[in-house]
Amino acid sequence: MFGHKHFLGLENFPREDIQKIIDTAFEFKDVLNRPIKKVPSLQGVTIVNLFFENSTRTRISFELAQKRLSADTVNFSASTSSLKKGESFKDTAQNIEAMKIDAVVMRHPAPGSSKHLTEFIDAKVVNAGDGTHEHPTQAILDMMSIQEKFGKIKDLNIAIIGDINHSRVARSNIYGLISMGANVTVCGPANLIPENISNLGVKVNYNIDEVIEWADAVNILRIQRERMGIGLVPSNREYRRLFGVTSERINRRKKELVIMHPGPINRGVEIDSQVADSDQAIILDQVLNGVASRMSILYLLLGHKEESTNEG
Alpha-carbon gap, residue 112 to 130, rounded angstroms: 6
Q: Give the nearest distance from C-beta 224 to ligand CP in angstroms.
A: 11
Q: DSSP state, 225?
A: G
Nearest distance from residue 199's CB to ligand CP, in Å?
Answer: 25
By beta-carbon proximity to ligand CP, the closer residue of 59 and 133 is 59
Q: Which residue number, 43 or 56, has a Cβ lying nearer to ligand CP?
A: 56
At a CB cut-off of 8 Å and minimum separation 6, what does 85 contact? Answer: none
Crossing angle of helices 168-179 and 15-32, in 10° steps, is: 110
Q: Least separation, in Å, of the C-beta of 253 and ligand CP?
A: 26
| Minimum CB distance to ligand CP, residue 256 (Å) | 24
The residue among 226 and 306 lying less far from ligand CP, judged by its C-beta, is 226
Least distance to ligand CP, CB of residue 106, Å: 13
- Under the rule (CB under 6 A), what is the footprint of ligand CP? 55-59, 129, 138, 262-264
Least distance from C-beta 58 to ligand CP, angstroms? 3
Distance from C-alpha of 251 to C-alpha of 166, rounded to nearest angstrom: 29
Closer by beta carbon to ligand CP, 129 or else 244: 129
Q: Burial level of 255, CB count in 10 A (0-12/13-18/19+)?
A: exposed
Burial 220-253 (b: 16+ CB within 10 A, else e): bbbbbeeebeeebbeeeeebbeebbbbeebbeee
Which position's Cβ is nearest ligand CP? 58
Please identify, using beta-carbon distances, which residue of 135 and 249 lies nearer to ligand CP.
135
Distances (CA, A) of 20 to 3, 58, 105, 217, 292: 12, 21, 20, 23, 13
Q: How far apart are CA 66 and CA 295, in angstroms?
A: 7
Distance from C-alpha of 238 to C-alpha of 242, rounded to nearest angstrom: 6
To the nearest whole angstrom, how small is the minimum distance from the Cβ of residue 166 to ligand CP?
13
Nearer to ligand CP, 5 or 166 (CB): 166
Cross-strand partners of 46: 72
CB atoms within 10 A of CB 33: 9
Residue nearer to ligand CP on the CB measure, 8 or 183: 8
